Structure 1
Amino acid sequence: MNTDQVQKELASYIGKLLRDNFGRGPETVFVSINQPFICVYLRKFLSPMEKVLISDNHESFIQTSRDILMKNLIPEINAYMTVLTGLTMEEFYYDWNLHNQSGMFVAISNNRANIEQPSELNYPGKDELHQEIIQVSQQAQKVPQEVLSYKLNERTIIVIRNGIFITIERELIRMGQLEVLRTAKRRVEKRLLHNSMRLESIFDAKIDDSFVSWDFDRDRSVILFIVNPKQNGRNGLD
């Protein structure tokens, strides 16, 4: 199968898998494959029960229950991705924007030589984006040891931060308090990203969605931005 066919097949599989396990699947599933990354963007993914819980300010309960389900689903998703692409998935990240009814998965394969189109290693605003990410990271914990980013397509930018955890966070990881740490970091880092006044100007586009996820063992984080290039970020559009 060519890349378009693989993307369609994977989108169909993930939609059905989530519907079978969550009781309701996303309305749309967008898959972008650009080695070594497989990016999945979910829209209109919120069950009626979850809508009730959000209205009663029980978002943490939704996050926790989804985390439990994802622990069982990630190996299955990775295995299916390997069957379709022939690549071994080494890392998997996910996050939800409950109020946007959206979500993301990012899988990273063991094929790390480069991404499919090296021209995407450099794109307008890359240096400014890295500077802003460093500032946001410093407010949340510390300056990352390394920041990398890739523009996977016109709407999708992925940022990878290495070496981000401070001493107290590493101790919580050793103590096994991953859920507490994940919950706290979700709130702090996503709030800082949302409040950033520079990001849309840097992208010269409206940010439709932003997501953050962490690999606590690797001391690594993935940030995913979904932008709308048809809406100029400097116009302050909603």
Structure 2
Amino acid sequence: MSENTSECEARWPAHLNHQKFNDKVIELSEWGQKVPATTESFWLNDRTIVIKRTGVFVEIEKELIQAGYTNELKEVKKPLELRMIHRSSLESLIDGKITDRLFSGISQETKGIQCSSCSRKSNSLSGTRFQT
């Protein structure tokens, strides 16, 4: 899976495994859609992770986007994505809980950006933290 993952290690807290997090995002993407062409994640701070995936939409999603149903697609996908996150071990990889998906950007180029809100299990992080 590593060949699909960019190197964005600089801002991730040293005690968290950035590569394992990206690998889990790829696994979840495959379950819900398909394996992304690229996956990047950025640790902005203790409460915010941005995940960028490209080449992830299946044909029905592309058709909905092209027909102008982007907002409807985002609304339908939000609860599905949160369920996927909570059923996986993704939260254990950030030592916290993902409490919400703050926004999701979708474009016709099969790209999307997701920003997730997190709550920390502890305040021991020393660093800062997803689809287009």
1:115-154 matches, within 5 Å, as 119-120=10-11, 123=14, 124-154=16-46
The match for 1:29 is none
The match for 1:161 is 53
Aligned amino acid, residue 189 of structure 1 = E
Structure 1 position 229, deviation (Å): 4.5
SS at match of 1:224: strand
The match for 2:130 is none
Is 1:228 the equivalent of 2:82?
no
Note if contact 1:120-1:151 (Cα within 8 Å) is conserved in structure 2: yes
Structure 1 position 187, deviation (Å): 2.4
Could you list the runs of 4 or more consecutive aligned residues of structure 1 that deviate by over 4 angstroms after TM superposition?
none
- The TM-score, its normalising length taken from structure 1, stands at 0.42
The match for 1:214 is 105
> What CA RMSD, in Å, does the superposition of the two structures yield over aligned residues?
2.6
Note if contact 2:97-2:120 (Cα within 8 Å) is conserved in structure 1: yes
The match for 1:202 is 93
The match for 1:183 is 75
Of structures 1 and 2, the larger Rg is shown by 1
Structure 1 position 154, deviation (Å): 3.1
Q: Aligned partners of 1:155, 1:186: CA distance in 2, in Å?
A: 18
Q: Aligned partners of 1:178, 1:210: CA distance in 2, in Å?
A: 19
Note if contact 1:160-1:220 (Cα within 8 Å) is conserved in structure 2: yes
Q: Aligned partners of 1:154, 1:188: CA distance in 2, in Å?
A: 24
Structure 1 position 231, deviation (Å): 6.9
Note if contact 2:85-2:91 (Cα within 8 Å) is conserved in structure 1: no
Q: Aligned partners of 1:119, 1:214: CA distance in 2, in Å?
A: 24
Q: Deviations over 1:196-219 (max 9, x none)?
A: 2x123211x221523151322342
Q: Aligned partners of 1:173, 1:156: CA distance in 2, in Å?
A: 26
- Percent of matched pairs sharing the same residue: 27
The match for 2:129 is none
| Alpha-carbon spacing, 1:208–1:180, altered in 2? closer, same or farther (3 Å) | closer
| Alpha-carbon spacing, 1:187–1:153, altered in 2? closer, same or farther (3 Å) | closer
SS at match of 2:28: helix
Higher relative contact order (CA 8 A, sep 6+): 2
Structure 1 position 161, deviation (Å): 1.3
Note if contact 1:155-1:228 (Cα within 8 Å) is conserved in structure 2: yes
Q: Aligned partners of 2:47, 2:98: CA distance in 1, in Å?
A: 9
Aligned amino acid, residue 100 of structure 2 = S
Aligned amino acid, residue 141 of structure 1 = Q
Q: Deviations over 1:9-41 (max 9, x none)?
A: xxxxxxxxxxxxxxxxxxxxxxxxxxxxxxxxx
SS at match of 1:120: coil
Note if contact 1:206-1:231 (Cα within 8 Å) is conserved in structure 2: no
Give the structure with the larger helix fraction. Answer: 1
Q: Deviations over 1:101-145 (max 9, x none)?
A: xxxxxxxxxxxxxx9xx8316752111111111111111111111
Q: Deviations over 1:51-76 (max 9, x none)?
A: xxxxxxxxxxxxxxxxxxxxxxxxxx
Q: Could you list the runs of 5+ residues in structure 1 that have no partner in the other structure? A: 1-114, 233-238
